[in-house]
Amino acid sequence: MTVSEVRKRYIDFFAKRGHAVIPSAPIIPENDPTTLFTSSGMQPLVPYLLGQPHPEGARLANSQMSFRAEDIEEVGDNRHTTFFEMLGNWSLGDYFKQEQLPWFFEYLTSTEEGLGLDPNKLYVTVFAGDKESGMVADTDAVAIWKKLFSEKGIDAKFVELGTEERGNELGLQDGRIFSYGAKKNWWSRAGTPSKMPAGEIGGPDSEVFYDFGTTHDTKFGKECHVNCDCGRFVEIGNSVFMQFIKQADGTFKELPKKNVDFGGGLERITFATIGNPDVFLIDVFDAARTALEKRSDKSYADTNATRSFRIILDHMRAASFFIASGIRPSNTEQGYVLRRLIRRSIREADKLDIKESVLAEVAEGFGAAYKEAYPFVHTAAGTIREELEKEEAQFRKTLSNGMRELEKMGTSIDAFILFTTYGFPIELTQEIAKERGVSLDMETIKVKFEEHQALSRAGAAQKFAGGLADHAEQTVRYHTAHHLLLKALQKVLGPDVHQRGSNITSERLRIDFSYGQKMTPEQKAEAERIVNEKITEALPVTRTVMNKDEAEKLGAEHEFGANYPEQVSVYSVGPKDATDADPKFSEAFSIEFCGGPHVRNTNELGTGGKRFKILKEEASSAGIRRIKAVLE
């Protein structure tokens, strides 16, 4: 099947079973300074899994754009990608294991409504229990899986492995259902049960694997098992059962309302339908792969070229979605990750003997591949081409400068300095040194790199912590101030000003907005004055859930390029006599689509005599300005 077919069948399957289909959240999390990217389907839904009612109800399903920066170095094998889509369905206190496991199994195996996969190719894992925390094994899931396989004429033998190490030693043992410990089959934001703080929720999970029947490579262990890294078995779905809450005394109590959180890799499920364990052979890569073969005059099947092909294909797909989402190459945050993807791709293009601009041509294939599901990528084709061509030309100059520095070094080549100072790839330094008969002390270089990376990770630890946004009181105040500032900018600069990005912490707010020139001191002063005026006016802030069309008719501000569900949350500020029952939208100062949270009244922003102040106004990218502001 194609990616579109697998996605549609999943959405239709769960919609038929009472699930509201919600749109993918943006790839850049909204008002969440703790993480750079949306990295899973459940990430945008954490507040609802923790108890906040969802406007669309208790049964939800979607396909979520996701990106995991930590997987960049893994790309090059047959199954790792940085950007991917995660199919998801959720029960917020509604159904549980007895419904979830049979539904997913039916979706995978049904020829009428699902994918028609051979059940003999499916293997599953369940929670084996955890002695340290006293959590017992998930026998319910075992019983459900036994029944499901039995209905397909399969005698599903249960094998308790407990650990990957035991799996490597014992192998499959003719099993179909395998239990592993908390490291593999337990979910909480904090990790295993013993690491969970009091008040944290979590529970066992059950994973489904597809068997591609490939030969086991003993470098991954003596025997093959479902969690082996040799590639024979690939995980295609995981049902998490949020069942417990940890108590202050370290024990666990069952939640009164238990949740289901399912996530399944769309691309992995798709390559299971074609029976080939190579994600880069699914249809969304076809046009880009053909373009790369044509320009390189090499075949993807050429073992000397395959890894380079995969890296370029993966990175250009991610780069296309990034640029279409408003990210531009830079040396910080999301822009740095984008720049790294592009530069790694250029290096791999060099390995394919492509010395001229090629990345934009490869990226064109993704706009067409995702035209129906994500039309904003296709619409941004011109911008994607422009940014990739500009960045590729710039980095080729960087490579040229690095070569000059390398020539100056003679036989005393310092690979670490070339990389950290000039951005010169370590692999290229190694190749040139080898050609010249120069020996590099790679162990020393490796130690230097590890120290360098440790410093980088320490500085960015909070950025990749993931999970909930910071809901501290001051952060919430800044979130509301952000709404006031956007409206103030529209009043001062004109109605064509719209938000193009934001980052809100407990220390300050940052807003990127569409405007083509530098603000004058008078304009900044007037924007400040308006925000402070609304703070002193003590305006109520009200939240209303309504139909998206109704909110748009009200002129509610919403994020550029974002998809919204039919029911949306809208926050309005003012007038003074507005109430939750009667928001009086026609008299409101500002109205925005927003998930919250916010203060109840603007006078909370002035707590302790604080006033709103713009610290800095500067260019962010072409046609985009950036303001950093504080309450002090």
Q: Any idea what the CATH number is for the domain that residue 47 is in?
A: 3.30.930.10
Judgement on whether residues 124 and 18 belong to the same structural domain of the protein: yes
Last residue of a domain, one of 279, 311, 346: 279
Residue 33 has pLDDT above 80, yes or no: no
Are 142 and 176 in contact by the 8 Å Cβ rule? The answer is no
- Give the pLDDT confidence score for residue 371 in this predicted structure: 93
- Give the pLDDT confidence score for residue 561 in this predicted structure: 55
Across 372-378, average pLDDT = 93
Judgement on whether residues 395 and 486 belong to the same structural domain of the protein: no
Q: Does residue 149 sit in helix, strand or coil? A: helix
Do the domain assignments include residue 458?
no
Which residues make beta-bridge pairs with 135? 130
> How much of the chain exceeds pLDDT 70, in percent?
94
- Give the pLDDT confidence score for residue 406 in this predicted structure: 80
Length of the chain: 632
Judgement on whether residues 265 and 363 belong to the same structural domain of the protein: no
Do the domain assignments include residue 213?
yes
With cut-offs at 50, 70 and 90, classify the pLDDT of residue 562: low
Closest CA to 79 of 282, 224, 226, 241: 282
Do the domain assignments include residue 594?
yes
Structure-derived torsion over alpha carbons of residues 70, 389, 372, 623, reported in degrees to the nearest 10:
90
Judgement on whether residues 266 and 353 belong to the same structural domain of the protein: no
Judgement on whether residues 257 and 329 belong to the same structural domain of the protein: no
Give the pLDDT confidence of 95-118 residue by residue, as tens digits: 999 999 999 999 999 999 999 999
Across 196-207, average pLDDT = 90
Do the domain assignments include residue 373?
yes
- Give the pLDDT confidence score for residue 455 in this predicted structure: 56
Across 236-255, average pLDDT = 92
Do the domain assignments include residue 456?
no
Q: Which two tokens stand for residue 530?
A: 């308006």
Closest CA to 365 of 426, 331, 314, 416: 314
Judgement on whether residues 426 and 545 belong to the same structural domain of the protein: no
CB neighbours (10 Å) of residue 553?
Answer: 11
Are 384 and 360 in contact by the 8 Å Cβ rule? The answer is yes
- Residues 170 and 465: their CA atoms lie apart, in Å, by 36
- Give the pLDDT confidence score for residue 172 in this predicted structure: 93
- Give the pLDDT confidence score for residue 95 in this predicted structure: 95
- Residues 244 and 15: their CA atoms lie apart, in Å, by 28
Judgement on whether residues 143 and 247 belong to the same structural domain of the protein: yes
- Give the pLDDT confidence score for residue 460 in this predicted structure: 40
Q: Which residue has the higher pLDDT, 303 or 6?
A: 6
* DSSP secondary structure code for residue 557 in this structure: B
Are 595 and 610 in contact by the 8 Å Cβ rule? The answer is no
Write down the H helix ranges in 286-332.
Answer: 286-296, 306-324
- Give the pLDDT confidence score for residue 560 in this predicted structure: 56
Helices 442-460 and 426-435, interaxial angle, to 10°?
A: 170
Q: What is the mean pLDDT of the chain?
A: 88
Are 355 and 384 in contact by the 8 Å Cβ rule? The answer is no
Judgement on whether residues 125 and 243 belong to the same structural domain of the protein: yes
Across 214-239, average pLDDT = 92
Q: Does residue 287 sit in helix, strand or coil? A: helix
Do the domain assignments include residue 463?
no
CB neighbours (10 Å) of residue 374?
Answer: 23
Give the pLDDT confidence of 145-164 residue by residue, as tens digits: 999 999 999 999 999 998 88
Judgement on whether residues 386 and 503 belong to the same structural domain of the protein: no
Closest CA to 25 of 79, 82, 88: 88
- Give the pLDDT confidence score for residue 464 in this predicted structure: 34
Last residue of a domain, one of 451, 484, 507: 451
- Dihedral sign for Cα 614, 617, 620, 624, please: positive
Judgement on whether residues 203 and 247 belong to the same structural domain of the protein: yes
Are 68 and 37 in contact by the 8 Å Cβ rule? The answer is yes
| Domain that includes residue 569, residue range | 473-631
Across 536-563, average pLDDT = 85
Judgement on whether residues 216 and 307 belong to the same structural domain of the protein: no
Do the domain assignments include residue 256?
yes
Do the domain assignments include residue 230?
yes
Judgement on whether residues 365 and 482 belong to the same structural domain of the protein: no
Give the pLDDT confidence of 412-468 residue by residue, as tens digits: 888 877 777 766 777 667 767 887 788 777 787 777 777 766 555 444 433 333 232
CATH number at residue 568: 3.30.980.10
Are 11 and 372 in contact by the 8 Å Cβ rule? The answer is no
Q: Does residue 565 sit in helix, strand or coil? A: coil
Q: How many domains are there within the chain? A: 3
Q: Which two tokens stand for residue 380?
A: 């941004």
Q: Which two tokens stand for residue 408?
A: 């100056």
